[in-house]
Amino acid sequence: MQEMIAQFKTDEKHLENIVHWHTIEPREASSVPFPERMDETIRKALQKRGISGLYTHQATAFRAAVQGKSLVAVTPTASGKTFCYNLPVLQSILENEKTRALYIFPTKALSYDQKSELHEMIEDMEADINSYTYDGDTPSNIRQKIRKAGHIVITNPDMLHSGILPHHTKWVSLFENLKYVIIDELHIYRGVFGSHTANVIRRLRRICKFYGSDPVFICTSATIANPKQLAEELTEQDMLLVDDNGAPSGKKHFVFYNPPVVNKPLNIRRSAVLEARTLAMEFLRNKIQTIVFARSRVRVEILLTYLQELVSKQLGPKSIRGYRGGYLPKQRREIEKGLREGSIYGVVSTNALELGVDIGQLQVCIMTGYPGSIASAWQQAGRAGRRHDEALIIMVGSSSALDQYMIQNPEYFFSRSPETARINPDNLVILVDHIKCAAYELPFQKGDTFGRAEIMDVLEFLTEERVLHQNGDKWFWMDDAFPAHNISLRSASQENVVIIDQTEAPDNKVIGEMDTFSAMTLLHDEAIYLHQGIQYQVELLDWEEKKAYVREVNVDYYTDANLAVQLSVLEVDKQKNFSSNEAAYGDVSVRAMATIFKKIKFETHDNIGSGPITLPEVELHTNSAMLSLNPEVLAWDDNRMEQGLIGASHALHYMIPLFVMCDPNDIHVYPQVKAAHNEKPTIFIYDSYPGGIGLSEKVYEKVGTILKETRNMVERCQCESGCPSCIGTDTASQGSKKDAILLLGLFAN
């Protein structure tokens, strides 16, 4: 491996593309002896594995947890984070057989993985401790046993939400004795999903209180800017931050790789996908285990197709696999196993493999583009690196503004603290959903709060809607529905589109599902949908029934859809005025409609056709930050103003995820030359989720910094008059870049 790295470093064909080479020196372990309180059984089991002490962070977590203090441990990949919760939990069960613990993992894949690890530990301890996963796949004949006798129940938030809490009366022994709640991969609980989960935890704690328990929360998180704050917002408990990482790590090389410019005036670089493909091939041919991360499902499939074509003859067709959400659990298990055992050399993944799924440690990690957040980049990088071997991490920049900013400012990446994760548990839509679920579970009483939320108005509202019934000073569920079934924790629009393959009709098969909002642009009629490297064309999207019928095809293009937006301001909640501009924050109504799609050829990325999309408009009420300019400051005509605003918006959209932890899809940036509510040139930055999840609010708070950095980014861009890396190519005129810089400057004043 060392040779390979040296060779890569000196290879001429890479030399001019390597922008930055950052070496992370190996770290020695920092260990302490087993804590005194630790049971002999656990010590012996650990010693059997050759472990004679704990890393500092594990010991800190152990001591705090057994004393009943909630904590959040921040740990890099492969630092033995599971001990942070497994050891105190096992200790407490050994001390009191009645103790129960609930493990919550964000995905089923993770819970499966953790169960095997926990089982091995329990086996080594030769202790009589039952741990079970309880999720949608759990056979009904063992469910009862789990409810009564499971010391450790491993589940996911969705199952907790719809399968456990609404049935709490069947889980009396769990809730009466619940001592620990484990929340692994805390950083995943942000945005909509986090806001939902925070409410699920409110429900959980309400039920615990009913049965007389008050569990300790142990969270583990990847590095983000605000782990303690996020854990406290999610659980509404005081948290101890444990970040004294004592785990060792091998030497790592972190390379920033920028594909060469192929179009000078437009500053267009060679596609990151193609570049990543070439790099991955080099390693795979040498049988070096490599993981390639791509940002979207589509890119995963494209890369997979490329690589399988090129290398499969040499290594065998099953040696390179794709991995992403939408694959069936069985396929995933098989891939994870293959990676651990080494029968699979390469895997192309979305961020699904960022999480702690155990695939062993690989040797090389290639990121196709900046993964969207610093936290995410470090998570992905952590996939490469064996304890006693060197590892190579390559980040290949795409043409996008954010990527170019990162690639060209490596000191920014390596010095900056990662992003802030935001949730908004009091988002009304989400809150009301969970108050319904909570009322189904236990009646509410006058004066009750729901976590920190005041809810009397909501209870009265739901009573008026005939969902609740008020009897004296209590509110009871009064509806024939099972509310949790209609509420999905993950997708914005609450209802998923099922993807049905009718290639072998009448033997139709369900191959995956997708949230409705994404479906508008990815599963419209004639869209090319990729699944496991296979191209499907959507023959019919049945919007009413939420079904997409697809058929296998073999074409040389993919599709890309446009979304048109109309926006009006409902109410302004906060406002700051400056000499030439104003910034505001408030409620808006957005109407979005998918309009047309383009067919784009592989390899050349040429536009080779287009077609209309006929789907109904989707209406969204949400929160927005609004940046307006006093019109007298600039005497520009509308056209010039529009071009300038479009350019500035494009740049802002790319930069915001740097400051607020979110996917670019979680926010929208939309300019208006003359906004209806104040008649001023305005840029709207709004949350994609109904009611907002705190992203645009954070943008409003940090508006000065965001504008300043965005302006710097555009200014430093090497293009002449705007390129996809800064203000985009939607602007037509020559002066747009200068205008955008000017506007960003004026907004920041």
Partner 1 sequence: MSLKNKLGRMKGHMKLDSQDKNNTGPETKTIVNEKIPFIEKWQENDTTVYWFDNQYCFIREVRYPINYRHGKYSFKELIDVVGFWNKSPLDHPLSAKGLGAQDLFFFDTETTGLGGGAGNTIFLLGYAFLEKEAIVLRQHVLPQPGNEIPLYQSFLKNINYDTLVTYNGKAFDWPQLKTRHTLIREHVPRLPEFGHFDLYHASRRLWKNRLAKVKLSAVEEEILGLKRESDIPGYLAPMIFFDFVERKDPEILLGVMKHNEIDILSLITLYIHLSRQILQVDGYGEETLEIARWLNYLGKTDEALETYRRLLTHGTNGERITARHAIAYQMKKNKQYGLALDIWLEVAESGTIKQKQEALLEASKLLEHHYKDYRKALMLSSKLLEELEGLSSSSATLVQNLYKRCERLKRKLKASN
Q: Which of 138, 229, 296, 494 binds partner 1 (CB under 8 A)?
A: 494
The position carrying tokens 């095809």 is 553
Q: How far is the CB of 614 from partner 1 (least distance, A)?
A: 22
Q: How far is the CB of 231 from partner 1 (least distance, A)?
A: 27
- Return the bridge partners of 586, or none: 572, 624
Q: Which of 142, 262, 481, 553 binds partner 1 (CB under 8 A)?
A: 481
CA dist 662 and 286 (Å) reads: 36
Quickly count: other Cβ atoms within 10 Å of residue 353's Cβ.
Answer: 24
Interacting stretch for partner 1, rule CB under 8 A, among 7-15, 217-225, 425-433, 663-671?
425-433
Terminal alpha carbon distance of the chain? 52
Q: Which of 34, 62, 132, 477 binds partner 1 (CB under 8 A)?
A: 477
Quickly count: other Cβ atoms within 10 Å of residue 106's Cβ.
Answer: 24
Q: Which is nearer to partner 1, 388 or 466 (CB)?
A: 466
Q: Which of 587, 596, 600, 742 binds partner 1 (CB under 8 A)?
A: 587
- 616: cis peptide before it, omega within 30°? no
Closest CA to 21 of 255, 364, 367, 365: 255
Closest CA to 49 of 25, 82, 73: 82
Q: Which of 47, 263, 471, 614 binds partner 1 (CB under 8 A)?
A: 471
489 and 196 Cβ atoms separated by less than 8 Å: yes
Interacting stretch for partner 1, rule CB under 8 A, among 119-127, 252-260, 271-279, 441-449?
441-449
CA dist 741 and 712 (Å) reads: 8
Q: Which is nearer to partner 1, 486 or 562 (CB)?
A: 486
Sign of the alpha-carbon torsion through 222, 80, 238, 174: positive
Q: How far is the CB of 153 from partner 1 (least distance, A)?
A: 18
Q: Which is nearer to partner 1, 71 or 439 (CB)?
A: 439
Q: How far is the CB of 479 from partner 1 (least distance, A)?
A: 7
CA dist 90 and 38 (Å) reads: 10
Q: Which of 3, 341, 464, 545 binds partner 1 (CB under 8 A)?
A: 464
Return the residues of window 658-697 that contact partner 1 according to CB under 8 A. Answer: 690-691
Residue 682 identity: T
Examine residue 442 and tell whether it contacts partner 1 (CB under 8 A).
yes
Return the residues of window 4-43 that contact partner 1 according to CB under 8 A. Answer: none
**Residues 149-168 vs partner 1: string with x where CB under 8 A?**
-----------------xxx
**Residues 690-729 vs partner 1: string with x where CB under 8 A?**
xx--------------------------------------
Examine residue 458 and tell whether it contacts partner 1 (CB under 8 A).
yes
Q: Which of 573, 606, 617, 679 binds partner 1 (CB under 8 A)?
A: 573
Q: How far is the CB of 330 from partner 1 (least distance, A)?
A: 18
Examine residue 504 and tell whether it contacts partner 1 (CB under 8 A).
no
In sequence order, which residues have a C-beta less than 8 Å from that of residue 19 and are 6 or more positions away?
A: 256, 257, 258, 397, 407, 408, 410
Q: How far is the CB of 134 from partner 1 (least distance, A)?
A: 16
Examine residue 429 and tell whether it contacts partner 1 (CB under 8 A).
yes
**Secondary structure class of 433 (helix, strand, coil):** helix
Examine residue 390 and tell whether it contacts partner 1 (CB under 8 A).
no
**Secondary structure class of 62 (helix, strand, coil):** helix
Interacting stretch for partner 1, rule CB under 8 A, among 37-45, 391-399, 428-436, 723-731?
428-436
Q: Which is nearer to partner 1, 90 or 429 (CB)?
A: 429
Q: Which is nearer to partner 1, 49 or 170 (CB)?
A: 170
Per-residue DSSP letters for 553-608? Answer: ---SEEEEEEEEEEEEEEEEEEEEE-SSEEEEEEEEEEEEEEEEEEEEETTT--EE
CA dist 259 and 397 (Å) reads: 7
Q: Which is nearer to partner 1, 196 or 270 (CB)?
A: 196
CA dist 428 and 396 (Å) reads: 40
CA dist 163 and 146 (Å) reads: 13
In sequence order, which residues have a C-beta less than 8 Å from that of residue 694 and are 6 or more positions away?
A: 195, 422, 423, 424, 427, 687
Q: Which is nearer to partner 1, 44 or 446 (CB)?
A: 446
Q: Are strands 100-104 and 152-155 parallel, antiparallel or unpaired?
A: parallel
Residue 47 identity: Q
Q: Which is nearer to partner 1, 462 or 561 (CB)?
A: 462
CA dist 310 and 281 (Å) reads: 8
Interacting stretch for partner 1, rule CB under 8 A, among 310-318, 403-411, 557-565, 566-574?
566-574
Examine residue 466 and tell whether it contacts partner 1 (CB under 8 A).
yes
Q: Which is nearer to partner 1, 212 or 265 (CB)?
A: 212
Examine residue 169 and tell whether it contacts partner 1 (CB under 8 A).
yes
Q: Which of 21, 412, 482, 578 binds partner 1 (CB under 8 A)?
A: 482
Residue 236 identity: E
- Number of shown-chain residues binding partner 1 (CB under 8 A): 46
Examine residue 461 and tell whether it contacts partner 1 (CB under 8 A).
yes
CA dist 272 and 254 (Å) reads: 17
Residue 420 identity: T
Sign of the alpha-carbon torsion through 662, 664, 667, 673: positive
Tokens of 446: 């006058």
Q: Which of 605, 621, 708, 738 binds partner 1 (CB under 8 A)?
A: 621
Examine residue 470 and tell whether it contacts partner 1 (CB under 8 A).
yes
The angle that helices 108-125 and 329-341 make with each other, rounded to 10 degrees, is 50
* Run of H or E residues at 531: strand 528-531
Q: Which is nearer to partner 1, 32 or 149 (CB)?
A: 149
Interacting stretch for partner 1, rule CB under 8 A, among 187-195, 281-289, 466-474, 740-748?
466-474
CA dist 239 and 74 (Å) reads: 12
Tokens of 399: 């043409």
Examine residue 571 and tell whether it contacts partner 1 (CB under 8 A).
yes
Q: How far is the CB of 332 from partner 1 (least distance, A)?
A: 25
469-476: long-range contacts, CB 8 A cutoff, minimum separation 24 = 473/445, 473/446, 474/443, 474/444, 474/445, 474/446, 475/439, 475/443, 475/444, 475/445, 476/439, 476/443
**Residues 254-273 vs partner 1: string with x where CB under 8 A?**
--------------------
Tokens of 74: 């921040």
CA dist 260 and 267 (Å) reads: 10
Q: Which of 9, 43, 386, 474 binds partner 1 (CB under 8 A)?
A: 474
**Secondary structure class of 90 (helix, strand, coil):** helix
Closest CA to 87 of 38, 53, 47, 127: 38
Q: How far is the CB of 543 from partner 1 (least distance, A)?
A: 17
Q: Which is nearer to partner 1, 37 or 485 (CB)?
A: 485
Q: Which is nearer to partner 1, 526 or 587 (CB)?
A: 587
Q: Which of 14, 469, 546, 598 binds partner 1 (CB under 8 A)?
A: 469
Examine residue 546 and tell whether it contacts partner 1 (CB under 8 A).
no
Examine residue 457 and tell whether it contacts partner 1 (CB under 8 A).
yes
468-471: strand order across its sheet? 444-445, 474-477, 468-471
Interacting stretch for partner 1, rule CB under 8 A, among 152-160, 439-447, 519-527, 534-542?
439-447
Interacting stretch for partner 1, rule CB under 8 A, among 213-221, 247-255, 457-465, 738-746?
457-465
Residues that bind partner 1 (CB under 8 A): 166-170, 172, 428-429, 432-433, 439-443, 457-458, 461, 464-467, 469-472, 474, 476-483, 486-487, 494, 570-571, 573, 587, 619, 621, 690-691
